[in-house]
Amino acid sequence: MSPDTHEKRSLRDAIRERQAAKTEGETQEPAAAAAPAPAPASRAAAPGKGIVIGGPGLKQTSIFCRQLSTLLNVGIPLQRSLQILAERTQHPKLREIVKEIAVAIDSGSNLADSLEKHPKVFNNLFVNIVRIGEKGGILESALARLTEVLESKLNMRRKVMAISIYPVFVFTMMAIVIAVLLGKAVPAFTAELPAEAHVSTATAALMTISAFFEQYWLGVIGAIAAVLLGGFFYLRSNMGRRTLESALLTIPRLRNLSVNIALSRTMRSLGSLLAAGIPLMEALRVTADSSESPRMSKALRRVGQSLESGGKFETPLRDETVMFPPVITDMISVGEESGTLDTMLLNIADNCDDEVEAAIPIIQSLIEVALILIMGVVVLFIAFALFMPYFSMLDYISE
């Protein structure tokens, strides 16, 4: 049984216990006093004790959010809901965090402040939506909409991963093959070259690279790992995100994919917040602060400034034609004028999801062709450099 299935069944058990308790309270039957008490939640199947590396990710937080929303919707108090989730959460680190939050709620703290103490698990979007929901008395609705946002983001991340897994695998295998050729095959092959063989420039370059790699292979691997690790952390920074976004927007196919992904995430977040009853200015601020696209975040802040000065939602977007194509801006304008802005934003997000779904197979095919060409060039260069001395010897013998 998968952890997700186990958590869902445990959650259903908790809801049944709550409903059974309500039924017993309403009937007030005398026999109820003599009946055995329902099994406490702690007697439920214990969470799995498998080895877990790293903290809870987007999948675990989305599951937690949906379960908390479900428990609150059936009438279970917040503190009791957190206790139930703490007992049934599969991820050990998240389980401890939920226990801490339950203790904080019992001590008089509110949910948003308790979540804010764990920024690595609950980001600004999560905390701000919960805070707004608590202040407006719409916590259940806010959590339900937040779950939709998190699950949509998770699905989009899986689609992007589907594009990147194949190139990463191919490049890794190609690097291993090249390392073996440079470290073992090329030295063995060139050692058998006759003294009278003519060494071309390509062969000399390959022999130099092979000798360097054979002598300093550990340093080369360490340098590559350092570059990859540094690039990873750089791309997670604000400057790195701006650089990556600017680079993607210069490539035609990737530009459309990048814009649709950013639009889908932003429009769904904003539309879900508005549908949950959160005021527009608050929704704009939360969405702008949590956006992974620097240009999209800047555009939303300009929208907020426009609304504060009495302008329209669409006005600043007319100048940002890269991230907001005219047809998107027109749809937003229609939604604003008709009073159905939240519905229109969610429709835009659905349309962008469809565009991303259609673009992924095309991008994957282009990447496959590019990888085949790169591998072909590398293999041809190595083969050409290795066999050129022998071809020159054949020419010398024929003369």
Structure tokens at 154: 């998770």
Q: Are 303 and 381 contained in the same domain?
A: yes
CA distances from 98 to 44, 68, 86, 112, 147 (A): 17, 11, 5, 13, 17
Q: Are 100 and 161 contained in the same domain?
A: no
Q: Are 110 and 258 contained in the same domain?
A: no
Kindly report each contact of residues 32-35 with a partner whose C-beta sits within 8 Å and lies 24 or more positions away, as own/partner.
none
Structure tokens at 46: 């214990």
Number of domains in the chain: 2
Q: Which domain holds residue 391?
A: 152-399
Q: Strands (DSSP E) along the chain, which ranges?
A: none
- Rounded distance, CA 25 to CA 84, Å? 21
Domain of 39: which CATH number? 1.20.81
Q: Are 295 and 395 contained in the same domain?
A: yes
Structure tokens at 122: 């609950």
Q: For the segment 182-208, what is each residue's pLDDT rounded down to a tens digit?
A: 888 888 877 777 666 677 788 888 888
- Rounded distance, CA 294 to CA 250, Å? 16
**Quick one: pLDDT at residue 186?**
81
The answer as to whether 109 is a domain residue is yes
Q: Are 200 and 250 contained in the same domain?
A: yes
Residue 129 CA neighbour count, 13 Å, CB half: 31
The answer as to whether 131 is a domain residue is no
Q: For the segment 252-280, what is each residue's pLDDT rounded down to a tens digit?
A: 778 888 899 999 989 988 988 888 788 88
Q: Are 57 and 84 in contact (CB under 8 A)?
A: no
In 3D, which of 19, 148, 138, 1 has the Cα closest to residue 71?
19
Q: Are 214 and 341 contained in the same domain?
A: yes
The answer as to whether 110 is a domain residue is yes
**Quick one: pLDDT at residue 13?**
58
Q: How far is CA 269 from the centre of its chain?
A: 14
Structure tokens at 178: 């090249």
The answer as to whether 383 is a domain residue is yes
Final residue of a domain: which of 122, 143, 165? 122
Domain of 328: which CATH number? 1.20.81.30
Q: Are 364 and 357 in contact (CB under 8 A)?
A: no
The answer as to whether 141 is a domain residue is no
Give the pTM.
0.71
Please give the residue that has the higher pLDDT: either 41 or 395.
395
Residue 395 has pLDDT above 60, yes or no: no
Q: Are 302 and 174 contained in the same domain?
A: yes
Q: For the segment 23-79, what is each residue's pLDDT rounded down to a tens digit?
A: 444 444 433 333 344 434 333 444 444 455 566 888 888 899 999 988 988 888 888
Q: Are 57 and 107 contained in the same domain?
A: yes
In 3D, which of 139, 161, 146 has the Cα closest to residue 287?
146
Final residue of a domain: which of 107, 122, 137? 122
- 117 φ, ψ (degrees, to nearest 5): -75, -5
The answer as to whether 177 is a domain residue is yes
Q: Are 74 and 160 contained in the same domain?
A: no
Q: Are 294 and 280 in contact (CB under 8 A)?
A: no
